[in-house]
Amino acid sequence: MRQGGKGTGGKGASGPKRDGRPPATGGAKRRPSHDARRRAQASAKAKPDLAETIVRVPTTRKPVAAKPARPAGPTRAEVKATTAEVLATGVQQLVVTPDENEMRIDRFLEARFPQLSFSHIQRIVRKGELRVNGKRADSKDRLEAGQTVRIPPLKLEPQAERPRSLKADADTIGFLRSITLYEDDDVMVLNKPAGLAVQGGSGTTRHVDGLLDALTGKDGQKPRLVHRLDKDTSGCLVIAKSRFAAATLAKTFRSRSARKVYWALVAGVPRVRQGRISTYLAREEAYDGDQRMAVAKHGDDGAMHAVTYYAVVETAAQKLAWLSLKPVTGRTHQLRAHAAHIGHPIVGDPKYFNISNWELPGGIQNKLHLLARRIVLPHPRGKGTIDVSAPLPPHMRQSWNLLGFEDAPYDPIVDAPDE
């Protein structure tokens, strides 16, 4: 039967088409004709691939040379990050470790931040920027393990790690041995020369604390300072060789169980041959920006009580006197300030010699005539008593010889009280 309508000659008819091509089979995709494939190939040849075109087109531009390899070292971003870390540390909250128990705050800062100068430490403490458990603290306050120390933003300069020299260390060790008065497994007592600083500061690169680095053991521990002497004062300086000794000796000095005797050459002769000096001392700024201690009143800002006993050992007419001094307290520049306070400043003292038109006797050098003569303290492990005396330094020996002083077999200051 013949279908009508669009079935006879329409697009859906199964009969042959007018161009003579066979009809498409049901559902199969129609393949492009030969002519269509040829036209596509020709079109592809006329329009080559874009990437291929860029490579093949000639150019008159000078080829760009490859960038040289970046030299070894930190990138600018790394330097910037490091600088930011070094120069602006931000506020820090540091917890006191058991090894730092009973350490003075200024020494805690020196240990944690070796780049900090002494003046910088004093400045942040004086301004109240340093807090311990939220409270304002003084540089001489003692810390307890577990306390939190708030450190203000600091500007630190990076410390260059310098390779250690075996020869330099050997020379340093030899020097330290040459000035050692006493030594055992826990304690050293050095005869510190005049002019050698105990710790570093502004412009000070050679000091006892730095020299002790040469004695660092395999465990990374080095001998530690437990007290200080002024740079121009010579004589007995106690060093702890272990953490246990350092903690024990710190308590000894703090409790005033260590007895110290100093010798000094002073201008004039005290009218009272033996006496006690008791004042308050406070730090003051000198006209040249230098710092010194001055007699203050009780209650003054920063004033601390200071007690010194003195005894006249020998005299040279009424011009000079050899004093033996026994400090009960251990304030900064205590003996020098007290000697000046009673009108008999120490010869050669650039800070406290306050007698105008006073002429130095011929042959006596204008150097500080102050010697830490003797130290007596209990051994940190209970092994009896350490009792060490230091000889006169060369400039004081010369003065003693010129004045006819002989080392006294008996020192009258030993009879002075300990309080």
Task: Determine which helix (DSSP H) or strand (DSSP E) holds 56, and give its type and residue range.
Answer: helix 50-56
164-183 CB burial, b ≥16 within 10 A, e <16: eeeeeeeebeeebeebebbe
CA distances from 256 to 87, 407, 411 (A): 40, 27, 20
- CA Rg, the chain, in Å? 42
Lookup result for tokens 């203050």: 296
Known catalytic residue at 349: no
**Which of 230, 232, 349, 411 is flagged as catalytic?**
230
State the pairing for strand pair 370-378/234-240: parallel
Distance of alpha carbon 133 from alpha carbon 111, whole angstroms:
19
Point out which residues pair with 379 in neighbouring strands: none
CB atoms within 10 A of CB 315: 17
Q: How far is CA 308 from CA 300, 326, 381, in A?
A: 20, 6, 29
Determine the Cα–Cα distance for residues 224 and 187; give it in Å rounded to an integer: 10
Contact 281, 334 (CB under 8 A): yes
**What is the residue whose two structure tokens read 């540390």?**
89
Active centre residues (catalytic): 230
